[in-house]
Amino acid sequence: MKILKSFSEIEPFLPILQSCADKNRKALGFFTKQTYEEQALQGRIWIAISSDTNDYAGHLMFGGTFPLLKIFQVFVNPNYRRSNIATKLIKELVSYGESGNYISISCRVAADLRANSFWEKNGFVLIRQEQGKGNSKRTINIRIKELNTPTLFTYGDARNKQNLHSSEVQISYINRPISNNPSYVIDLNVFFDVVRNRPRNKEASLLISAGFNNQIRVCVTTEFSKELEKHSDPNKVDPVLSFAERLPTLPPIDQKNLEGIISKIGLLVFPEKMHAGKLTENDRSDLLHLASCIHHRVYGFVTNDKAILKVSDKIRQNYGLDIVSSQDFIGSDSISEKYDLKTIFDGQEINSGEIKEHERQELESFLSGLGISLEQIVTILDPGISGSPRRRVSVRADNELIAVASWDAPSKFMQSTVLYLFVDEHHPTATKIIDHVLETVSRDTAPFQLRRIDLSIGFEQVHTKQTALQRGFCLQLSGDSLSLTGGLSKVSYRGIITPDSWHDFTVKYKKLTGLALPSMMPNYKEFINTGIVFKSTQTINLKLFEFETLISPALLLCRGREAIILPIRRRYADELLHSYQKQTKMFPYSEALLHVERAYFKTSRNTNLFKKGLPVIFYVSGKEGGSMEAVGSGRITFSDVLSYEEIDMNMSRQGVLSKNELSDRLDSEGKIHVFTFDNFNLFANPIPFNKLRALGLVSAANLITSEKLKYNQFIKLCKTAYDKEQLK
């Protein structure tokens, strides 16, 4: 059998193709002669012929728009049936779709046709049913087959493709249970802080409360009750002991099996006593606690013991066990990001904001219409409880509901969340809304914390999946194989990663993804020339720009990296840097805020300073009542000098300048410099002009125009903008 694809080869067979299709209208539907010719001209009809006789054996007609292919007809000549011709045509289309980076193939099959078994055997999953049109009103099965193509790097912006060296890279994360909350083991002193109302009662109570709210799993070791029994009167009922014995407890372990771990961690925690052979009974009890945690691979151990806390970094490095004090859980997880937004897009007012309970019936109807079950709807619209709230957001276009999203609020206790995102992808604003929600959730992370986001979407949301893959979401591994029908996951980090904080980052990253990063952060030249090398389903090396996209909105301060500081007027900062605003405007913002990459237009002065991947610091100038302070950082994704026509056609909607303002900035050749940026991070501590000058970050030009920051200046700025303790 041969498969013909070019129009010149196919044209002679079109009459017999149409004749066969017309005789099988019940299964194939009706199309005109003109339709068949048009489809053939576009290369969307393939014909199978006998290699021996050149007879027509069957055909495939398909269509669709990227990234979804649609099959309209598959037919096999009765004389050539039972020869796997239909299967071969489908496999050829799958290969075509995967090489073209399509995400899935769909087909519509009448529920009463025997052909449904064929589609099932070829991996087309039934996702929903529709009532057919016409007199028969047959039930139509909607089937979809997902393709093995999506990666972060195959969907790069066209203007960046020349910089993407690894189009075949497939990064995947371990597949974890949705309810896999981290386990923290508490020691006896933390327990006593609560029950005896000791000075650290507030911190310890917050930890216990997180356990009740199901944010984490709080448990103890068998050594815990044994320690209490030593100090309890056996002749009296001890309510504290009775309560402790009912706490979730790790399974007991024969101490002989722990001796190897105890001897090693003993040298870390009590080196002098171990060498002298003078461990006390309490010392050994502490080591048993730690050894049990390491054996059972729990997430963390909570203690206020100074000797253990002193070597917490070494224990984390050697055993992957987080050692924290109850004090570490104090502090607000609140963030400055806003998920309420009002913008104008194509003349429509787009509103995203918190879901109100009076909207519930409308939301349930919307989700039900997308094929979501009642059980899922209850989970999606769950508001959470006090101490463990959930974000619930609806998006409307001129009051028409077009999207619903929900996820857990950031917390020090929870390292992961499920993002439920359901969008009416037929709406013209859908792509921008998907972009906006994914960025919002990625940024909704506690500062200097890693968070894993597992995406739950409708089966037909191909544009949502495509956008997620562009924004750093990866496929999950199920066991040792790639789960193509499973969800997508992203690890988000909000803040700065330095060489000093790199190790802590890599340990937590491995826990969330199963991927081991190098022990040392590459310097800037290593990142640019080789990239970061690690193992997923294959050995992967990612350049700096790609890796930052993977963990966005993070910013890596690798050694040798420079930045640029850019003055921006207040009214442009108000529109481009939504997080910068302390209060929401009464009137709608520009469309630019719906874009992950926003555009800044400037004169062609200092154009050579702006390069893709370069961090940019935004300084709000004093003009128009501006605050005269550096407020945050972003990352340049594109930079070029373009004509007015090029900008008007492709990029004007990503910026906030009017046509007149753009015209005023054109140079003598009718061009203007434009750069786009993403990964905007608001500084915890905005830096006033006088402080910038005192730090030696301002030249004699006084930030009238953009200026370069060398690595040592960049580090100094970031240590001022964020807590020095976080950046060491």
In this prediction, residue 269 carries a pLDDT of 92
Residue 480 lies in a domain: no
Q: How many CB atoms lie within 10 A of CB 698?
A: 18
In this prediction, residue 537 carries a pLDDT of 65
Same domain, 351 and 393: yes
Same domain, 142 and 155: no
**Better pLDDT: 425 or 151:** 425
**pTM exceeds 0.85 for this model:** no
Mean of pLDDT over the chain: 82
* Alpha helix segments (H runs only) across 461-588: 462-470, 502-513, 524-529, 544-550, 570-576
Residue 501 lies in a domain: yes
Q: How confident is the model at residue 94 (pLDDT cuts 50, 70, 90)?
A: very high
Residue 336 lies in a domain: no
Q: What is the DSSP letter of 255?
A: G
Q: How confident is the model at residue 165 (pLDDT cuts 50, 70, 90)?
A: very low
Same domain, 303 and 236: yes
Residue linked to tokens 């001796």: 259
In this prediction, residue 453 carries a pLDDT of 92
Residue 335 lies in a domain: no
- Is 10's pLDDT higher than 90? yes
Instruction: Look up the domain containing 155 and give its range.
Output: 150-171+495-559
Interstrand relation of 555-556 and 496-497 (parallel, antiparallel or unpaired): parallel
Cα distance between residue 178 and residue 490, in whole Å: 14
Question: Residue 86: which CATH number?
Answer: 3.40.630.30
**Final residue in a domain of this structure, among 329, 363, 393:** 329
- Is 366's pLDDT higher than 50? yes
In this prediction, residue 44 carries a pLDDT of 93
Cα distance between residue 360 and residue 356, in whole Å: 7
Same domain, 589 and 642: yes
Report the percentage of the chain scoring pLDDT > 70: 86
Same domain, 319 and 425: no
Cα distance between residue 225 and residue 233, in whole Å: 14
Low-confidence winner among 110-119, 210-219, 500-509 (lowest mean pLDDT)? 210-219
- pLDDT tens, residue by residue, 395-423: 998 889 999 999 988 877 778 889 999 99
Q: What is the DSSP letter of 620?
A: E
Which residue, 419, 675, 716, is CA-closest to 568?
675
Same domain, 372 and 433: yes
Q: How confident is the model at residue 653 (pLDDT cuts 50, 70, 90)?
A: low
Residue 643 lies in a domain: yes
Residue 478 lies in a domain: no
Query: Cα 223–226–229 angle (5° rounding)?
Result: 155
Handedness of CA 119, 121, 122, 126 (dihedral sign): positive
Find all residues with CB under 8 Å of 213, minimum gap 6, and list them: 385, 387, 388
Same domain, 538 and 570: no
Residue 479 lies in a domain: no
Structurally, how many domains does the chain consist of?
A: 5
Q: Which of 191-205, 333-347, 526-540, 541-555 has the highest mean pLDDT?
A: 541-555
Question: Residue 214: which CATH number?
Answer: 3.40.50.1010
Same domain, 551 and 575: no
